[in-house]
Amino acid sequence: MAATISRLTLIVLDSVGIGELPDAAQYGDAGSNTLANTARAVGGLNIPHLGRLGLGNILPIEGVPPVDRPLAAYGRMAEASAGKDTTTGHWEIAGLLLERPFPVYPHGFPPEIIKPFEERIGRPVLGNKAASGTAIIEELGPEHMRTGYPIVYTSADSVFQIAAHEEIIPVEELYRMCRIARELLTGDHAVGRVIARPFVGRPGSFKRTDRRRDFSLPPPAPTILDLLLENGFPVLAVGKIEDIFAGKGITEAVHTEGNMDGVDQTLACMRRLERGLIFTNLVDFDMLYGHRNNPRGYADALEAFDRRLPEILHATRPDEVLIITADHGCDPTTSSTDHSREYVPLLVYGQKVKPGVNLGTRSTFSDVAATVAELFGLSYPRGTSFAREVIVR
């Protein structure tokens, strides 16, 4: 099987879902539609470049009408794995399906986890409950600063989060605590991610910093990233991709400070990488706006990305394919502050791509992995490739 391209850029717009999945109600997400509901809440989105690619052809979105001649192939993908979190979504995009969701702890972590953790770090913890990250810092930050005890909390996702003021617990010590938690959280308690949440400031004005770090479970089986590396194709990870995959299948990682830096770093990779995969996560949609139920901020972030999109399209080489998708939803208009179980958009662009092809509804995010494999002349065992539907031969 001959390779069709020499480079592929895959951009995940973190949490930019496009409508509830059939089983959304089982996850408490009936009615969720991150894109359409956000657009409705702000009186329409101004994202003409995504519109020209065909985003509005996937689903009615206020301010994003369907176009007669989309520049990209377009469709949507359903999540086949159980769950709705970042790790599950990205792993499925890379070809790994989970039959059961990662464990969650809506009532906090049990003593068999917290007690050995406290013993290993040499101090008690505060919190140990499900909470909004910004809210629990405001609630427990003053006590944390007085006692030096770290704040442990979780959410509806499979996460063990540790928040600490950088002046009270230095960031490297916070990272050490996270590694201890990661060692302890195995077996039935193998959460998807342990997350360091450093913050600064004073009571009433605490602010989380960009020194967050995720300590993920390593994927339990090879992904498309591993397959590419084994066959001599470099994999450049931009944003939190390295953390999500625990460094597996990655040649080089570039961490970023927000969406615009993520776009800048992606463009820098596109300027220098001759062949292989550029895999980018843009997290601000989810972290700053979805979880905080801020539709205006979410819309502004979408519009800011859209203004940068022409630079990405211009940087796409003749022998390259660009794929834009998402990993789950996080509807900022619902009462929930958690991720939502949604379809994700699929836009496929490039000089070798037939514009305007309707890819329909894909049954799994892993169709991306199968397609990436075929485009590079390889074969991947999971997912159904859409390469032959979109590539001009």
Binding-site residue set for Mn(2+): 14, 286, 291, 327-328, 339
Amino acid identity, residue 2? A
Cα separation, 237 vs 129, in Å, equals 32
Regarding beta strands 151-154 and 126-130, do their DSSP bridges make them parallel or antiparallel, or are they unpaired?
parallel
Write out the two tokens for 144.
């944390």
Binding-site residue set: 14, 286, 291, 327-328, 339
- Output the tens digit of pLDDT for each of the chain's 393 residues: 688 999 999 999 999 999 999 999 999 999 999 999 999 999 999 999 999 999 999 999 999 999 999 999 999 999 999 989 999 999 999 999 988 888 999 999 999 999 999 999 999 999 999 998 889 999 999 999 999 999 999 987 889 999 999 999 999 999 999 999 999 999 999 999 999 999 999 999 999 998 888 898 999 999 999 999 999 999 999 999 999 999 999 999 999 989 999 999 999 999 999 999 999 999 999 989 999 999 999 999 999 999 999 999 999 999 999 999 999 999 999 999 889 999 999 999 999 999 999 999 999 999 999 999 999 999 999 999 999 999 987
Which pLDDT score, from 0 to 100, does residue 74 have?
98
Write out the two tokens for 271.
């300027």
Cα separation, 7 vs 319, in Å, equals 7
Global model pTM greater than 0.95: no
Q: H-helix or E-strand containing 174? A: helix 171-184
Regarding beta strands 193-200 and 213-216, do their DSSP bridges make them parallel or antiparallel, or are they unpaired?
antiparallel
Which pLDDT score, from 0 to 100, does residue 15 have?
97
Which pLDDT score, from 0 to 100, does residue 343 have?
98
Which pLDDT score, from 0 to 100, does residue 1 have?
65
pLDDT tens-digit readout, 214-258? 898 999 999 999 999 999 999 999 999 999 999 999 999 999 989
